[in-house]
Amino acid sequence: MSVTGLTYHVYDVEHMTPAEIYGHVLAQLGQERAEIVALTADLAKSTKIGKFGEKFPERFFNVGVAEQNLFGVAAGLALAGFIPFVSTFAVFAALRAGEQVRTDICYQKLNVKIIATHSGISFGPAGTTHHCTEDLAVMRSFANMTVLAPADGYETANAVRACLDYPGPVYIRIGRGFEQTVYEGEDYDFAIGKAVTMHEGSDITVIACGPCVLYAVEAAKALQESKGIAVRVLNMHTIKPLDKAAILAAVHDTRKIITAENHNVIGGLGSAVAEVIAEGGKSCRLKRLGLPDTFAIVGITEDLYNIYKLDRDGITEAILEMLGQEVEPDDDWEDEI
């Protein structure tokens, strides 16, 4: 298979975690592009960027447990003409080294690609110190930054390939690597900034990113079969630049939108969608599913998705609740103030 002149393998996600897939994809890209270097901060194994390091030890830098230096060194390598891929946990990329990412990388428009693993609540048992439900809010507020939140391992592979020749800094947010897949392979239209319609529908729209895409699709399929409800599901894998046209089309066609993300409801996908809806000037119901401005409890990740109503059942419940609500015409609200 060939995309933009590159030859690559389709990896078997049944036997490989999403993180492992991206590690292999990066190693493959490294074969073809000598300017790719990779860096981590003592998380070569956990993030799987070590796959690149095994193949190209001379182009791989493990700087130890020192994330500020990690991103500064990556900036320096980019200034010297390389394309650094940096991988660490999301909480360390977005928060511990947030200023380095902003000032060294975004401000200077450097070609650094960040693969942030263990984002959201994907590392459930580790607790809040290792969760990261703030990174989308932080990263999308950095000028010059592109922010991706792939739905699964196949999409992560596509995102890694796409970001290579996408100019400037890119933040790719993935999970711990144990997530189920929603796609059956890598062969679908993936373009940075373009939402993917995962399920057609005109009754209501669910806009999701990351693992919530699978849960939204499951909810849509079940509701179609059991109740004949047509749910549109958009995989908003690019949080910035946001696919405004897809959101406004959903507003026009369904007037009811639910967002779902493993992130605080403040500042992430839901907020980004709300901004587009509000500026669009058309009335539309909106419900943001996510962490309700709280740090998540400790728990098995699947349990946490259930507790915070981000799994199939939670999304289904939100859909049914919203379908029972009217979208009020604009001239009917003055008496309610």
Partner 1 sequence: MALADKEIAALTEKAWEIRHLIVQTIVWAGGGHVGGALSQVEILIVLYYHYLNIDPRRPDWEDRDRVILSKGHGGVGYAPILADRGYFPMELLKEFNHTGSPFGMHLDRLKVPGVDASTGSLGHGLPMAVGMALGAKLQQKPWHTYCIVGDGESHEGSIWEAAMCAAHYKLDNLTGFVDRNRLCIDGDTEEIMALEPLKGKWASFGWYVLEIDGHDFKELGEAIEEARRTAGRPTMIIANTVKGKGVNFMEGEAAWHYGGLDSDKEKQALQSINRIYGKS
| Measured CA distances, 45 to 2, 114, 153, 160, 163 (Å) | 29, 16, 17, 18, 22
- Check residue 63 for interaction with partner 1 (CB under 8 A): yes
Q: What's the CA gap between 235 and 219, in Å, rounded?
A: 14
Question: Binder to partner 1 among 71, 85, 142, 183 (CB under 8 A)?
Answer: 71
Q: Identify the helix (H) or strand (E) that includes residue 31.
A: helix 18-32
Binding mask 80-119 for partner 1 (x = CB under 8 A): xxx-x--------------xx--xx--xxx----------
Instruction: Give residue 69's identity as a one-letter amino acid code.
Output: N
Minimum Å gap between C-beta 32 and partner 1 is 17
Minimum Å gap between C-beta 322 and partner 1 is 45
- Check residue 283 for interaction with partner 1 (CB under 8 A): no
Minimum Å gap between C-beta 58 and partner 1 is 7
39 vs 209 by CB, closer to partner 1: 39
Minimum Å gap between C-beta 102 and partner 1 is 9
Binding mask 207-226 for partner 1 (x = CB under 8 A): --------------------
Q: What's the CA gap between 161 and 30, in Å, rounded?
A: 11
Q: How is residue 218 written in tokens?
A: 């499951």
- Check residue 68 for interaction with partner 1 (CB under 8 A): yes
Q: How is residue 208 written in tokens?
A: 């999701």
Question: Binder to partner 1 among 44, 75, 114, 132 (CB under 8 A)?
Answer: 75
Residues 18-37 that bind partner 1 (CB under 8 A): 37
Question: Binder to partner 1 among 6, 66, 274, 297 (CB under 8 A)?
Answer: 66
112 vs 217 by CB, closer to partner 1: 112
- Check residue 73 for interaction with partner 1 (CB under 8 A): yes
Question: Binder to partner 1 among 43, 77, 207, 277 (CB under 8 A)?
Answer: 77
Asked if 248 and 235 touch (Cβ cutoff 8 Å), the reply is no
- Check residue 142 for interaction with partner 1 (CB under 8 A): no
Question: Binder to partner 1 among 26, 27, 74, 115 (CB under 8 A)?
Answer: 74
- Helix%, strand%, coil% for the chain, nearest 5: 40, 20, 40
Nearby residues of 87 by Cβ (< 8 Å), 6 or more positions away: 38, 39, 40, 43, 47, 48, 49, 114, 115, 116, 117
Nearby residues of 150 by Cβ (< 8 Å), 6 or more positions away: 18, 156, 158, 159, 172, 173, 174, 210, 237
Question: Binder to partner 1 among 78, 148, 229, 296 (CB under 8 A)?
Answer: 78
# binding residues, partner 1 (CB under 8 A): 29
Minimum Å gap between C-beta 193 and partner 1 is 24
Question: Binder to partner 1 among 76, 127, 167, 185 (CB under 8 A)?
Answer: 76
Q: What's the CA gap between 153 and 213, in Å, rounded?
A: 12
Which class for 69: exposed (0-12), middle (13-18), buried (19 or more C-beta within 10 A)? middle
Q: Per CB under 8 A, which region of 71-79, 282-290, 295-303, 319-327 contacts partner 1?
A: 71-79
Asked if 152 and 130 touch (Cβ cutoff 8 Å), the reply is no
Please state whether beta strands 36-40 and 60-62 pair in parallel, antiparallel, or not at all (unpaired). Answer: parallel
Minimum Å gap between C-beta 79 and partner 1 is 6
Among candidate residues 213, 218, 222, the one with its CA nearest the CA of residue 190: 213
Footprint of partner 1 on this chain (CB under 8 A)? Answer: 37, 58-59, 61, 63-64, 66, 68-69, 71-82, 84, 99-100, 103-104, 107-109
